[in-house]
Amino acid sequence: MSIKVLAVIGTRPEAVKMAPVVLALRARDEFEVKVALTAQHREMLDQVMRQFGLTADVDLDIMRPRQSLAQITTRALEGLQQAYEEIEPDIVLAQGDTTTVFAAALAAYYARIPFGHVEAGLRTGNKYSPYPEEMNRRLAGALADLHFAPTEAARDNLLAENAPAERIYVTGNTVIDALLWAAEHSAPAPEYAWADELSGPLILVTAHRRENWGEPLRQACLGMRDLLERAPDATLVYAVHRNPVVRETAEAILGNHPRVRLIEPPDYFDFVQLMKRARLILTDSGGIQEEAPSLGVPVLVLRDTTERPEAIAAGVAKLIGPDRSRIAEEGARLLLDPEAHAAMARAANPYGDGQAAGRIAGILAK
């Protein structure tokens, strides 16, 4: 009799990190694996599903323009409750810290179905930073039956919250599984051929966190303009999130600059190739803080806190916030000072060896 596993996915980063888990489980005879999408972010999610050859057994399609957190939560909770009743899984898995993950854990608790949290134990200690992700993961952790922690530090966070030690497994982060596979199996897309023809350095940007909406994002974009003044041969490529709140700010401040390219969010494989080409990455994303160190690209984190302190401690990422002056100063230092760049460009990754998904499958098989 097989173990019926339901993997719940809501966004592109979740799809990237859950795809290796789904594939690892499907490679074993013990499991019957189904995938449920909330589609909290539709277009970016579908790209990754296609690239990893995954299809949805359930698609709730909850995405709406400018939807509130309460609307996301209630739509996901109600839809997942029905999915659990129809599929009757033995265990539900979800990854990370989105509203989808919290709803998946809560719906599993209501249905008395065990819940496994992939990438468990990340914490900043500030419930409003990142918002709402910090509380999403804390609440999911409180409801989880199995915790798949990416690092020892994440395990320590869970132990401090009285999670049972025998329910915590340090596996590494599945994003490294996905990254290494994509780096090996993908090639630069023709539409980004211009990136290889640039004579100067490429600065790659992603910035979309909810707590940075408004004035913080405006200051960050102004800092990017200032950075380009200090590095006159650099080109800044901003993969602009489809949320109109983010897009309006980016276009207003950066849209008319001759050395800025505002691009649609690339599919995951193409984004990996752009990261490999970049000299510097500016981001408020969580996953990129894990991915870029494997590629030897320095990262400036446009947040005031991070739940991924291992990269900061390793010296491959630096926390600077959405601060206009620090973006210009730190960015220029890394672009113009070869020694400063080399000090951060060590390809040392504290997040794993690319075998995390196989470890998770083995743990579940036991």
Q: Residue 137: helix, strand or coil by DSSP?
A: helix
Give the C-alpha separation, 135 to 262, whole Å: 31
CATH architecture of 3-173+352-365: 3-Layer(aba) Sandwich (3.40)
Please name every residue paired with 262 in a beta bridge, in sequence order, or none if there are none. 238
Which residue, chain included where needed, has tokens 């730190």? Answer: 330
Q: Among positive and negative, which fits the CA dihedral 111, 114, 117, 120?
A: positive
- 293 with 181: CB under 8 angstroms? no
CA separation for the pair 108, 113 (Å, rounded) = 5
Same fold, 3-173+352-365 and 190-344: yes
pLDDT tens, residue order, the chain (366 aa): 799 999 999 999 999 999 999 999 999 999 999 999 999 988 778 989 998 999 999 999 998 988 899 999 999 999 999 999 999 999 999 999 999 999 999 999 999 999 999 999 999 999 999 999 999 999 999 999 999 999 999 999 999 999 999 999 999 999 999 998 888 888 777 888 888 889 899 999 999 998 999 999 999 999 999 999 999 999 999 999 988 999 999 999 999 999 999 999 998 999 999 999 999 999 999 889 989 988 899 999 999 999 989 989 889 999 999 999 999 999 999 999 999 999 999 756 788 889 999 999 999 999
Task: Measure the CA–CA gap between 120 and 99, rounded to whole angstroms.
Answer: 15
CA–CA distances in Å: residue 126 to residues 123, 134, 135: 8, 7, 9
Give the pLDDT score at 181. Answer: 85
Among all residues, which ones are annotated catalytic? 97, 119, 133, 208, 210, 241
Going from N- to C-terminal start, the domains of the chain cover: 3-173+352-365, 190-344
Helix axes 287-295, 268-277, angle to 10 degrees: 50
Q: Could you give the CA distance from residue 306 to residue 280 in angstroms, rounded to a whole number?
A: 19
Q: One-letter amino acid identity for 223?
A: G
Alpha helices, DSSP H only, in 27-94?
Answer: 42-51, 69-87
Number of H helices, E strands in the chain: 15, 13
Query: What is the identity of the amino acid at 230?
Result: R
- Rounded to whole angstroms, how far apart are CA atoms 103 and 273? 33
Name 239's Cβ contacts closer than 8 Å, sequence gap at least 6: 204, 205, 206, 263, 264, 265, 266, 271, 274
Alpha helices in the chain (DSSP H): 12-26, 42-51, 69-87, 99-110, 133-143, 152-160, 174-185, 215-230, 244-254, 268-277, 287-295, 309-314, 324-336, 338-344, 356-365
Q: Cα-atom radius of gyration of the chain, to the nearest Å?
A: 20
- Is the omega angle on the peptide bond into residue 130 within 30 degrees of 0, that is, cis? yes
Give CATH for domain 190-344. Answer: 3.40.50.2000
Query: Model pTM?
Result: 0.86
Give the pLDDT confidence score for residue 41 in this predicted structure.
Answer: 82
Residues 6 or more apart whose CB falls under 8 angstroms from that of 89 comprise 4, 5, 6, 34, 113
